[in-house]
Amino acid sequence: MLKQALAICKKDFNSEIRTRYAINALLMFIIVVISVIKFSLGEDKISSEMNAGLLWIIIFFATSNGLSRVFVSEEERGTSLVLKLSADARSVFLGKLIFNTVLTFIINFLIIFLYIIITGLDIRNLALFSLTIGLGNLGLSAVMTIIAALISKASSKGTLYPVLSFPLLLPLLLASISATWLSIEGVPFGAIAGELQMIASYTVVVITASFLLFELVWND
Amino acid sequence: MPSETSQAKQNTGILLQAVDLSRKFDRRPIFKNVNFELRPASATAITGRNGSGKSTLIKIIANLLIQSSGKIDLYDGDTKVKKEAVYKYIGFVSPYLNLYDEFTGYENLKIVSDIRGYGHGNIDNVLKRVGLFNRKDDILKIYSSGMKQRLKIAFAILHDPQILLLDEPTSNLDLEGISVVDSIANEFKKDRILIIATNDPHERSLCDREININPDA
């Protein structure tokens, strides 16, 4: 299953390099949003709580723009049958999940890098901040991947994606914002262990449920 | 049917068995109570008027769609093949199947081989067989519709499947392309299961049996 999944993931990366469907849209979105924040803030400093909220708003909408493509482009171009005739449903889901997770990490690295440059954000506990962002990314890509599979069969895909994913992501976003804020403040691990446990448990539940449900979504 | 099933389980080789297969779309029946039993060395044409569900039936056989009622099972020897493994036995060509436009013909088959977990040794042979070897490094975006149809045929036979499902296989093909389909169909019907969904007299002539899914018409 892993070998098939990695082959699907590799195909998606090569396809993205050739077509640049997601990357171009994402880069434009990130540059525009970061620029708007820079112009709005000017030289003002904002609180750690505001910084954490802003960061996750950018991450949520950036991933909403890019991650749906893994299934939507297959359905729109009629290539999903190629995958259905070449691999079992679980391998397809795992391949798409790996692709979306790597893409999320790349997008979010870029967002955070640019955000730190323009706002001069001072992160006092970088290790904890990285752990929070990493776990949050994993949960985010898991939810976004199964929602992408669901909406790829619908007619109004663009609107449905953020609308469907937001309520599902709300617990994850709240915990991630809280943990990000506290890690920026420089608290020790024990202070946000609850949030991190919640994010990790949420991610495990979503991935397990997605593997169980995906075959039904994929096959009809 | 139970006796046929038990007999099937005792035989070796492939058996494709459909019992009272029906499919509805939004409560509207497309076809009802289709029954058949297919073994290797058979060629079957699925016929019926436009909109009768020929393509739908062929998708159900390939496990790309689920029937509304009835059952369809594939046996390999005395073992019933799990639904999630049916794809390994199927080669499939249809107008609504598309390969990846951003890759070359060779790359498309290489990707499929990688996903299926096979080597790349058979790709050149298959491309030669469908007459695309000299254009294997062109991206699909510049392929004509006939060339794309040939590549779909290459995709279908690349893994040497036990069951070949062809939905209007000669559409968009020139005479040379049609003779490629004829040759592949004749090869498959010697020792494997060939199913063609068609109303075209030439494609029907490749088969020795017919299933008309709306015989009342």
Long-range contacts of A191-199 (CB under 8 A, 24+ apart): A192/A128, A192/A132, A195/A132, A196/A131, A196/A132, A196/A135, A198/A171, A199/A132, A199/A135, A199/A136, A199/A139, A199/A172, A199/A175
Collapsing DSSP to helix, strand or coil, A120 comes out as: coil
Chain A CB contacts of B100 below 8 Å: 11, 15, 77, 79, 82
d(CA A92, CA A195): 31
- The pLDDT of residue B170 is above 70: yes
pLDDT in tens, B57-74: 999 999 988 889 999 999
Contact B115 A77 (CB under 8 A): no
Which helix (H) or strand (E) segment holds residue A119: the answer is: helix A89-119
Predicted confidence band of residue B11 (pLDDT cuts 50, 70, 90): very low
Q: What's the DSSP call for residue B198?
A: -
Kindly state the tokens that stand for A47: 């609180």
Shortest Cα–Cα distance, A82 to chain B (Å): 7
Domain limits, chain A: 2-219
- Name the interface residues of A facing B (CB cutoff 8 Å): 3-4, 7-8, 10-11, 14-15, 18-19, 77-79, 81-91, 215, 219-220
pLDDT at B5 over 70: no
Tokens found for residue B125: 């042979």
Residues 77-96 on B with a CB inside 8 Å of A are 84-85, 87, 90, 92, 94, 96
Going by their DSSP bridges, the two strands B209-212 and B193-197 should be labelled as unpaired
Smallest Cα distance from A103 to chain B, Å: 20
Mean pLDDT across A54-63: 90
Tokens of A203: 């991610």
* DSSP β-bridge partners for residue B93: B166
d(CA B145, CA B142) in angstroms, rounded, equals: 9
Contacts of A205 (CB under 8 A, 6+ apart): none
Lowest mean pLDDT across A18-27, A58-67, B5-14, B75-84: B5-14
**Closest Cβ–Cβ partner in A14, A18, A88 for B84:** A88
Interface test with B, best of A79, A82, A96, A99 (most B CBs within 10 A): A82
Residue B95 to chain A, least CA–CA distance (Å): 10
Which band of pLDDT confidence, cut at 50, 70 and 90, is reported for residue B6? very low
B74 forms beta bridges with: B16
Distances (CA, A) of A124 to A5, A14, A184, B34: 38, 38, 5, 69
Domain locations in chain B? 2-212
Phi-psi region of A22 (alpha: psi -120 to 50; beta: other; left: phi over 0): alpha
pLDDT band at B124 (very low <50, low <70, confident <90, very high): very high
For residues B63 and B33, what is the distance between their CA atoms, to the nearest angstrom?
18
Distances (CA, A) of B135 to A131, B126, B143: 49, 13, 9
SS3 A163: helix
Tell me the residue type at A68.
S
Task: Please state the pTM of the whole predicted model.
Answer: 0.88
Q: How many CB atoms lie within 10 A of CB A202?
A: 22
Residue A217 pLDDT: 85
Helix/strand/coil (H/E/C) assignment for every residue in B104-127: EHHHHHHHHHHHHCCCCCCHHHHH
Identify all chain B residues contacting A86, using CB atoms and an 8 Å cutoff. Answer: 87, 112, 115-116
End-to-end CA distance of chain B: 27
The second-level CATH assignment, the architecture, of B2-212 is 3-Layer(aba) Sandwich (3.40)
How far is residue A94's CA from residue A6's CA, in Å, rounded to a whole number?
8
B60 residue type, one letter: I
CA distance B83 to B76: 12
pLDDT given at position B9: 41
| Residue count (chain A) | 220
Contact with chain A for residue B63, Cβ under 8 A: yes
B50 touches chain A (CB under 8 A): no
pLDDT, residue A1, reads 82
Q: How far apart are CA A102 and CA A82, in angstroms?
A: 23
> How many CB pairs lie under 8 A apart between chains A and B?
71
The owner of tokens 């075959």 is A215
